Structure 1
Amino acid sequence: MMLVSHMPLVAALTGLLVEGRGDRGPGFPTAAVAELEAEVWAAGCARLCGFTNPVELRSDRRP
């Protein structure tokens, strides 16, 4: 399933699913992608298995 949303909903939902609390979600930069896994989609039952910040994908960025 893919959910596309805006702040602050996406951070609150990620925090709720991973940490069990909506106020514990990560900060999402514009167009970031969080990948979650869960057998049961309920509070505190998901695992954050990936987080991609679009800046990391730019080929012209410098170290």
Structure 2
Amino acid sequence: MKERVGRLNSGHYKRIVILEKSLVQTFCILLYGFLKTHASCWTFVINLQIVDMNVDMDKRIAAPL
């Protein structure tokens, strides 16, 4: 009986590991696809954020003067 339970558990564990790996792979593929299709949009957003940061830095530098 104990042996049987051990076998069941190890099989179940393997199945969970395989499931997790496939989920991670699927997630990575989806993320890659999403980033690829929205790359130009993302670079635009990132550029805007960098510009905003630079403006903020200029304000901070100019403020004390």
Shared fold per TM-score greater than 0.5 = no
Q: What TM-score do the two structures reach when normalised by structure 1?
A: 0.23
Structure having greater relative contact order (Cα 8 Å, sep ≥ 6): 1
TM-score, length-normalised on structure 2?
0.23
Structure number with the higher helix fraction is 2
The structure whose Rg is larger is: 2
